[in-house]
Amino acid sequence: MIDEKQLAELSLPGAPRILTEPPGPQSRAILEYQAQNEGSAVSYARGLPMAVARSRGATQVDADGNIYIDMFSGAGVMALGGAHPEILAAAHAQIDEFTHTLDIPSQTREGLVETLKGLLPRELTRIFFGGPTGSDAVEQALKLAKWNKKRNGIIAFEGAYHGMTGASLAVTTDSGHRDGVGELVPGVSFVPYAYSYRNPFGCPPEETDLYAARWLDRVLRDSHSGVSKPAAVIIEAVQGEGGTIAPPPRFLQNIRRITQEHDVLLICDEIQCGLGRTGRMFAFEHSQIVPDIVTLSKALGGLGFPISAIAYREELNTLPPGKSIGTFRGNMTAFAAGKAALEYMVREDIPGRAALLGEKLLARLKDCEARSAIVGEVRGIGLMLGIELVKDKTTKEPAPALAAKVRTLAHRRGVLVEVGGHFNHVIRLLPPLVITEELAFKAADIIESAIGEAEKAGCL
Ligand X SMILES: Cc1ncc(COP(=O)(O)O)c(C=O)c1O
Q: Which residues bind ligand X (CB under 6 A)?
A: 75, 133-135, 138, 161-163, 236, 240-241, 269, 271-272, 297
Task: Kindly tell me which of 7 and 341 has the beta carbon lying closer to ligand X.
Answer: 341
What is the nearest approach in angstroms of ligand X to the Cβ of residue 429? 14
Q: Which amino acid is at 236?
A: E
CB of 437 to ligand X, least distance (A): 26
Distance (Å, whole) CA 75 – CA 299: 10
Nearer to ligand X by Cβ, of 134 and 376: the residue is 134
Q: How far is the CB of 162 from ligand X (least distance, A)?
A: 5
The nearer residue to ligand X, 18 or 383, going by C-beta atoms, is 383
CB of 335 to ligand X, least distance (A): 17
Query: Given the complex with ligand X, which of 27 and 135 has the nearer CB atom?
Result: 135
Question: Closest distance between ligand X and the C-beta of residue 32, in Å?
Answer: 26
Q: Identify the helix (H) or strand (E) that includes residue 61.
A: strand 59-62
Residue 339 has, within 13 A of its CA and on its CB side, a CA count of 20
Q: How many CB atoms lie within 10 A of CB 117?
A: 15
Q: Which is nearer to ligand X, 68 or 72 (CB)?
A: 72
Q: Cβ closer to ligand X: 271 or 361?
A: 271
| Sign of the alpha-carbon torsion through 437, 440, 443, 447 | negative
Encode 339-364: b = buried (16+ Cβ within 10 Å), e = exposed: bbbbbbbeebebbebbbbbbeebbeb
C-alpha triplet 390, 394, 398: angle, nearest 5°: 20
Q: Dump strand ranges (E) for 203-280.
A: 232-235, 265-269
Question: Which residue has the CB atom at the shortest distance from ligand X?
Answer: 134
Q: CB of residue 232 vs ligand X: minimum separation in angstroms?
A: 15
Contact between 455 and 373 under an 8 Å Cβ cutoff? The reply is yes
Q: List C-alpha distances in Å: 301 to 42, 119, 178.
A: 22, 16, 28
Compare residues 375 and 429 and give the one whose CB is closer to ligand X: 429
Q: Is 366 helix (H, G, I), strand (E, B) or coil?
A: helix
Q: How far is CA 73 from the centre of its chain?
A: 10
Q: Nearest distance from residue 185's CB to ligand X, in Å?
A: 15
